[in-house]
Amino acid sequence: MTAPRTPRKQYWNEPTLGLWERLYIFEIVRGLSITGRVFCGNMWKWMTGRKGAVTAYYPEEIRGDYSPNNRGRHVLTQRADGKVQCVACNMCATVCPAYCIEIEATADFDDAAHPKSPARFEIDYSRCIFCGFCVEACPEDAIRMVKDVPDLPGFDRDVMWGTKDLLAQWHPLKDPRKPYPAPPVARKDEGAP
């Protein structure tokens, strides 16, 4: 009458621990010796004046192993004459999902090619989410992101602002990796017509 019993399905693994592991005390000794070895090695490094840790002492110490593609600190690029390349078009401020960019434009009609420039360009790093949209939105390649992180830690949100002077850090002549065409002023000095 009764249906044949199927063996109950086992959903767990067979125990893999042998007697040695199940005695536990020897495995404890092994674990303690591993942690003790690491401790002694690191401690010896600290005592002989080296660094016995793989973590960085942020922000005093800046990690050297950021990826070159890391979206870190913003920089405003400069023209050869030192003025920022930004034309205060507000595209980055518009696209910014965190609304953390503030630009105040000013006009300089003597410079016919770039009459509009920012008088104030500020990024509120307490709100910035480092998405990089501002970099992509910029039509002038005026804002970029470099791999190292901004120096953010502080006791006050008021110090977490990146101003124009702080951000304007990339100058074509100072970047050996990105040669820039020599400025026309220099060519005139060489005696060209």
Partner 1 sequence: MMPDLVVHGVYIACILAFLLGLATIFTWVERKQSAVMSDRIGANRAYLRIPFTQVKIVAWGLFHGAADGLKMILKENFTPTTYDRFCYNLAPWLAAVPVLLVFAVVPFGGEVQPGRFFEPGSGAAEFFGDRTYRMQIASLDAGILFVLAISGIGILGTMLAGWSSNNKFSLLGAARAASQMISYEISMGLALIAMVVTYGTVDLFEMVQWQQQATWGILVQPLAFLLFLTASIAENKRIPFDLPECESELISGYFTEYTSMKMGLFLLSEFIEIVVISALVVTLFLGGYSVPFLTTGGFVLPGGGLWEIGALGVALLQMLTFTLKVFIVGCFQIQVRWTLPRFRYDQLMDLGWKFLLPLAALNLVVTAIVRWWTL
Contact positions vs partner 1 (CB under 8 A): 25, 28, 31-32, 34-36, 38-39, 42-43, 46, 52-55, 57
CB of 52 to partner 1, least distance (A): 6
Looking at beta carbons only, is 38 or 159 nearer to partner 1?
38
CB of 36 to partner 1, least distance (A): 7
Locate 189 and state its tokens. 């000095």
- From residue 37, give the alpha-carbon distance in Å to each of 25, 28, 34, 42, 99: 18, 14, 5, 9, 50
Looking at beta carbons only, is 3 or 54 nearer to partner 1?
54
CB of 181 to partner 1, least distance (A): 46
CB of 160 to partner 1, least distance (A): 19
Looking at beta carbons only, is 42 or 70 nearer to partner 1?
42
CB of 56 to partner 1, least distance (A): 9
Q: Which residue has the tokens 């973590």?
A: 55
- From residue 157, give the alpha-carbon distance in Å to each of 49, 69, 125, 145, 169: 36, 27, 9, 22, 22
- Which residues, including other chains, have CB under 8 Å from residue 102's CB and lie 6 or more apart? 93, 120, 121, 122, 123, 124
Looking at beta carbons only, is 37 or 187 nearer to partner 1?
37
Helices (H) and strands (E) in the chain, counts: 6, 5
Looking at beta carbons only, is 28 or 62 nearer to partner 1?
28
- Report d(CA 87, CA 143) in Å as an integer: 11
Looking at beta carbons only, is 9 or 22 nearer to partner 1?
22
CB of 178 to partner 1, least distance (A): 36
Locate 66 and state its tokens. 């950021």
Q: Answer for the pair 108, 95: CB distance below 8 angstroms, yes or no.
A: no
